[in-house]
Amino acid sequence: MNTVEVIKPGVLALLMDAGRKGQHGLGLTTGGPLDADAFFWANTLVRNTPNATAIEVSVGGMELRANAEVQIAVTGAQMPLFIDGNPRAIWQSHTVAAGSTIKLDFAKQGARAYLAVAGGFDVKPQFGSTATVVREGIGGLNGSALATGDALPVLAQRPTDDQMLPVNLWPTYPQHPVLRVIEGYQVAHFSAAQRALFYSHEYQLSQQCDRMGYRLRGPALQCDIGGIVSEGICLGAIQVPADGQPIVLLNDRQTIGGYPKIGSVFSADLALLGQLMPGATVSFAPISAEAAHAELLLAERRRLAATQQLERLS
């Protein structure tokens, strides 16, 4: 069986597919890549299906050995890629000879990169997904982050030509993104003055940031209710606990919660947040549900056109 061996796992490396859907009733969260676009393009560049299992590399410092010839692609954060010590470009695929080493250095910009192999990593799904959620001990290899010595099976696939995503299609990761917010029904419990405060000030990412959620620091928000009956929580929900400091909930969030929510970050903007490190700053702006739906439709059309362009160039 073809395998890729983990020599150094780096800060945090997780096997990941597109996410565990439809399992909230069992208390299992979604998981999946924090930067869904980068994950998609990593798989696309090696001609995988969009849900193929890849590696999410947080911060960097990972080193692998290919025990058979494989084709790889790395996308996302600016993590310098080296194959046998030679620098290689990200946002394109590379054929790696058997016995070669693959190294991702520490990120120069952004926080998360995605490494896909042609055919995908051959990992048994749990509850319909291979996405690793360490808090729940599920997915990946034994529900854990990758560790030195792990052997990752690779599904066999016929060799194909290497290809590059055109530079004009690369996403940009601003240092200070403006995250669009779809307000929910609980926004009525925040006065007009409190909403103005939220939208007119920047917030800093605290050190308490992980795949479960990002705790922010900035002007404290006041709400006329101290809590609610626990209810389901969507991706990107912005909880406001008693101290008034917002928490943006991400892929590994709990499935229910009892803090009031001012709204939810628009899903298309969550990748921008997931590519930030603690200490970075963000601002917020409202967007209507109708405008968000239109934006998602346009984004899907752009992705389809980009995929077709890539196929024409290959």
**Residue 292 above 70 pLDDT?**
yes
**Residue 207 above 80 pLDDT?**
yes
Give the residue-averaged pLDDT of 239-263: 94
Q: How confident is the model at residue 227 (pLDDT cuts 50, 70, 90)?
A: confident
Q: How many CB atoms lie within 10 A of CB 206?
A: 15
Give the integer Cα–Cα distance in Å for 26 and 23: 5
**Residue 136 above 80 pLDDT?**
yes
Give the residue-averaged pLDDT of 204-219: 96
What's residue 8's pLDDT?
97
What's residue 14's pLDDT?
98
Percent of the chain with pLDDT over 70: 99
Q: What is the 3-class SS of 125-145, one letter each residue?
A: CECCECCCECCCCECCECCEC
Give tens-digit pLDDT for 140-163.
999 999 999 999 999 877 767 889
What's residue 166's pLDDT?
87
Give the residue-averaged pLDDT of 219-226: 92
Q: How confident is the model at residue 98 (pLDDT cuts 50, 70, 90)?
A: very high
**Closest to 68 (Cα-Cα) out of 161, 141, 124, 5:** 5
**Residue 313 above 80 pLDDT?**
no
What's residue 302's pLDDT?
87
What's residue 159's pLDDT?
67
**Residue 314 above 70 pLDDT?**
no
**Closest to 39 (Cα-Cα) out of 140, 105, 113:** 113
Give tens-digit pLDDT for 165-183.
988 888 989 999 999 999 9
- C-alpha dihedral sign at 16, 20, 26, 29: positive
Strand extents, DSSP E, the chain: 3-8, 12-16, 54-58, 62-66, 70-76, 81-83, 86-88, 93-96, 101-104, 112-117, 151-153, 178-183, 203-209, 213-217, 231-232, 237-239, 247-249, 256-257, 261-265, 281-286
Distance spanning both ends of the chain, measured CA to CA: 29
What's residue 189's pLDDT?
94
Scored b (16 or more CB within 10 A) or e, 30-42 reads: bbbbbbbbbbbbb
- Per the listing, tokens 């299609």 go with 169
pLDDT, mean over the chain: 94
What's residue 258's pLDDT?
86
Give tens-digit pLDDT for 99-113.
999 999 999 999 999
Give the integer Cα–Cα distance in Å for 36 and 303: 12
Give the residue-averaged pLDDT of 236-258: 95
Phi, psi of 184 (to 5 degrees): -105, -175
**Residue 1 above 90 pLDDT?**
no
**Closest to 30 (Cα-Cα) out of 254, 220, 213:** 254
Give tens-digit pLDDT for 10-40.
999 999 999 999 998 888 999 999 999 999 9
What's residue 161's pLDDT?
85
The structural domains of the chain, ordered by start, are 3-169 (no CATH), 178-293 (2.40.100.10)
